[in-house]
Chains A and B, each alone.
Chain A
Amino acid sequence: MTALAWLVPAALFLGALGLGAFLWALRSGQFEDLDGAAYRALEDLPPDDDEAPKK
């Protein structure tokens, strides 16, 4: 049972990590345009290309 002493915090920490990642993604606008993101992934030009759209 002593294993629970670190298993429970570990489980909570991992869960909180996921929650944090989601909130960060939301804040940084990654859910703004789900349709467009699907196409951007297929874009050939490298992101640092001068022609490419800048964030």
Chain B
Amino acid sequence: MTEAQTAQLKDPESRAQPAQHVEPSTMTLAVEDMHCGGCLRSVERAALRVPGVATARASLAAKRLMATYDPATTCEADVIAALDRVGFEAAPLEASKQDRGDQRQKYLLRRVAVAGFAAMNIMLISIAVWSGEGGDMDPALAQMFRWLSALIALPTVIYAGEPFFVSAYAALKGRRLNMDVPISLAIILATGMSVYQTMQASEQVYFDAAVTLLFFLLIGRYLDEALRVRARGEAQNLLSLQNGIVTLLSESGSQTKVPASALHPGDRILVAVGERVGADGIVAHGSGEVDQSLITGETMPVAVTGGAAVYAGTLNLTRSLEIEVTAADDATLLAEISRLMMAAEQGKARYRVLADRAAQIYAPAVHGLGLATLIGWLAFGASWETALTYAIAVLIITCPCALALAVPVVQIAAASRLFKRGVMVKVPDGLERIAEVDTVVFDKTGTLTLGAPQLLEGEAVPADTLAAAAAIASASRHPFSRALVAAAEARLGSVEVARDVEETPGQGLLVQTAQDEERLGSAAWCGVTDVSGQTAEVWYRRGDDEPFCFRFADQLRADAGDTVAALKARGLAVALLSGDREAVVTRTAQDAGIDDFVGELKPAGKIAWLEDRANEGHKVLMVGDGLNDAPALAAAHASMSPATAADISQRAADFIFQGRALSPVVEAVNTGSRARAMAFQNFGVALVYNAICVPLAMAGFVTPLIAAIVMSSSSILVTLNAIRLAGGPRS
């Protein structure tokens, strides 16, 4: 945070000061849908055209815009509005969340660079010494080279080893063992012993091994951090975009844009047509229809009038609404869902990642072997110097170099593979958890289905009726209207737009023409009395003509059946849990080929179902999008949400997938289990190396040359193996 920002926070009045006295402030905005160089330019240009913005620089990798601006003339909301006009949705990021991960990443990258430089130069010198050994190399020259190595190695170990020493110290202080304890011990002992041996003009010098070890370990650490930073950054962008900006109405009726997080109960907000409601509340003024599918799983819009409750995340469809905020009230739906989620998440916090579990076994084994070597050689009457040198050789050989690379390299390869296929890894541990699942549970609306109704038997509708109905429908944002227009456009090419359409929320549309009136809406709206009530229906009637019925249904995603079949082919059980009516759920389940389904479930019911499975020893992957799914997403062993999901669900999910296809679920499960298999392969490689070299090291046959070759080759092998995962085309 710049000084100017700090000053501004401490002293809000600084906004009022004249421009020349105010240092420019900086803002960071998350920008959605920025994919190419063209987008980058449009975003920067749009921001620069806002008066008061001095500089603007967008980052394509981070999907963010950094701008410096004069707080006296402009503010974040102005820039957001300017970006909105050129078609980019943006939202402010909290300043505190922006930089911390980045800095750790840079801290590690600097150390990777220094260790890499040192490793290369020491190796250069070492190779000269090794090849001259027993030959024509002047011993004095060899000795000078060793001192030179020491000169490079000592500062490097102190500087680049810092992250490991700090972490090992923290672990020891807490009376724990982690992977960094044997690493630190090996590096410090190897370096210290080598300095001593150099003084003694001995050939047992391990500077190259110690620094190369550090270099490879730092790469692993850096990759791990890079994945975390990327996942965290994307998650933050996502949340910022969803918290978004709401229009606050003051008592005098003036409008200001504020972040949704700044709302208080009792505030009045204005929700325009097509906007999501920013907070839980009650309708204070106006009436219209809202799409609550994210909350209830029900695709049919609900008509609301003054006094009706509306929930954050619902979509306002037909008319702008004035809403009185009640969000802080503990009785709101959101608060209830949050409570369920927090309880559910506690179970998941106990999960220990693979690398930690490996370290738990590995660290004591390494220490034990090193100690056994030391004591063994002393018992056989070797000098303490020789015994210690051999013990250090064991520590260096067993050092979890390949092990420390094994998991991070695989994870970053898996994450970038998934990213190319439209799946965002939000929680890196998720990759490990998704590999363990044996059951996949889908939500219905918005997950298995598209969450939007579509016209049934569109071909059977007479063309002129379809065109006339679509003309009226094009004036409305109601989901049925949109489906009707989409169907008409698909069949007739283009649709005329009717003028002066009146919309009555919850009932229908009306147009008065010179000859007669046209109505489109519910059966009652069109004066039809005998209705079947089987499917969602919309009626169309011109004057006193015979009314025509359009039928709609929420369609399955095109590849839902294939996805379910593919998951079953992998030996996974597939189930469907929904809050929707039993009959609808049954039909959807049959269409998708799912045998195990439950309908009319409340959020707590979904959790109970998941807990039953967990108690039977099953590990469940939950795929859902609604607010009602959020607790279940948090409770499941692993979880996925489509990018259209409610914000709280996206917050709970381990993976977010984009697009209209459901195949990313299969892709994520596949990649997860391939990554897991590959991590184990890599552990296997490390184990084979150790099985061969540890006996040699314990017997005292490992020279500095062998140690260097073994370590580099096992690390490179492990990395190359993992890269196989990242390949393949973009989808």
Residues of chain B lying within 8 A (CB to CB) of residue A26: 106, 109-110, 113
Q: Are A34 and B117 within 8 A (Cβ)?
A: no
Q: Are A40 and B37 within 8 A (Cβ)?
A: yes
A15 at the interface (CB under 8 A from B): yes
Q: Are A33 and B60 within 8 A (Cβ)?
A: yes
Most buried by B among A1, A34, A53: A53
Residues of chain A lying within 8 A (CB to CB) of residue B41: 43, 53
Q: Are B124 and A11 within 8 A (Cβ)?
A: yes
Q: Are B45 and A51 within 8 A (Cβ)?
A: yes
Q: Are B113 and A19 within 8 A (Cβ)?
A: yes
Residues of chain A lying within 8 A (CB to CB) of residue B60: 33, 35-36, 39
Q: Are A33 and B62 within 8 A (Cβ)?
A: yes
User: How far, in angstroms, from A42 to B114 measured CA to CA in the complex?
Assistant: 32
Q: Which residue of B lies closest to A39 (CB)?
A: B37
Q: Are B141 and A32 within 8 A (Cβ)?
A: no
User: How far, in angstroms, from A43 to B45 measured CA to CA in the complex?
Assistant: 13
Residues of chain B lying within 8 A (CB to CB) of residue A23: 110, 113
B477 at the interface (CB under 8 A from A): no
User: How far, in angstroms, from A43 to B114 measured CA to CA in the complex?
Assistant: 34
Expressed in whole angstroms, the minimum distance between the Cβ of B35 and any Cβ of chain A is 9
Residues of chain A lying within 8 A (CB to CB) of residue B58: 36, 53
B36 at the interface (CB under 8 A from A): yes
User: How far, in angstroms, from A52 to B148 measured CA to CA in the complex?
Assistant: 49
Q: Are B121 and A11 within 8 A (Cβ)?
A: yes
Interface size on B, residues (CB 8 A): 30
Q: Are A22 and B113 within 8 A (Cβ)?
A: yes
Bits for B70-109, please: 1 = Cβ < 8 Å to A, else 0: 0000000000000000000000000000000000001001
Residues of chain A lying within 8 A (CB to CB) of residue B141: 1, 4
B343 at the interface (CB under 8 A from A): no
Partner of B117, one of A19, A42, A51: A19
Expressed in whole angstroms, the minimum distance between the Cβ of A27 and any Cβ of chain B is 8
Q: Are A36 and B40 within 8 A (Cβ)?
A: yes
Most buried by B among A18, A19, A42: A19
A12-54 at interface with B (beta carbon < 8 Å):
12, 15-16, 18-19, 22-23, 26, 31-36, 38-40, 42-43, 51, 53-54
Residues of chain A lying within 8 A (CB to CB) of residue B62: 32-33
User: How far, in angstroms, from A32 to B58 measured CA to CA in the complex?
Assistant: 10
Q: Are A15 and B59 within 8 A (Cβ)?
A: no
A43 with B37, Cβ < 8 A, contacts A35-B61, A55-B55 known:
yes
Partner of A55, one of B57, B61, B148: B57
Q: Are B148 and A8 within 8 A (Cβ)?
A: yes
Q: Are B57 and A34 within 8 A (Cβ)?
A: no
Interface size band for A = 20 to 34
Bits for B128-146, please: 1 = Cβ < 8 Å to A, else 0: 0000000000100100000
Expressed in whole angstroms, the minimum distance between the Cβ of B697 and any Cβ of chain A is 31
Q: Are A53 and B113 within 8 A (Cβ)?
A: no
Residues of chain A lying within 8 A (CB to CB) of residue B120: 15
User: How far, in angstroms, from A55 to B41 measured CA to CA in the complex?
Assistant: 13
User: How far, in angstroms, from A16 to B151 measured CA to CA in the complex?
Assistant: 14
Q: Are B110 and A53 within 8 A (Cβ)?
A: no
B48 at the interface (CB under 8 A from A): yes
B56 at the interface (CB under 8 A from A): yes
User: How far, in angstroms, from A5 to B546 measured CA to CA in the complex?
Assistant: 103
Considering the complex of A and B, which 5 residue pairs feature the smallest CB-CB distances, nearest first?
A39-B37, A36-B60, A33-B59, A35-B60, A19-B117
Known: A33-B61, A42-B37. 14 other contacts (CB 8 A): A1-B141, A8-B125, A12-B121, A12-B152, A15-B117, A15-B120, A18-B117, A26-B110, A33-B60, A35-B60, A36-B37, A36-B59, A36-B61, A43-B37
A–B Cβ pairs within 8 angstroms, 30 of them: A1-B138, A4-B141, A8-B148, A11-B121, A12-B121, A12-B152, A16-B117, A23-B110, A23-B113, A26-B109, A26-B110, A31-B109, A32-B59, A32-B61, A32-B62, A33-B59, A34-B61, A35-B60, A35-B61, A36-B59, A36-B61, A38-B37, A39-B36, A39-B60, A40-B37, A40-B40, A43-B41, A53-B45, A54-B57, A55-B57
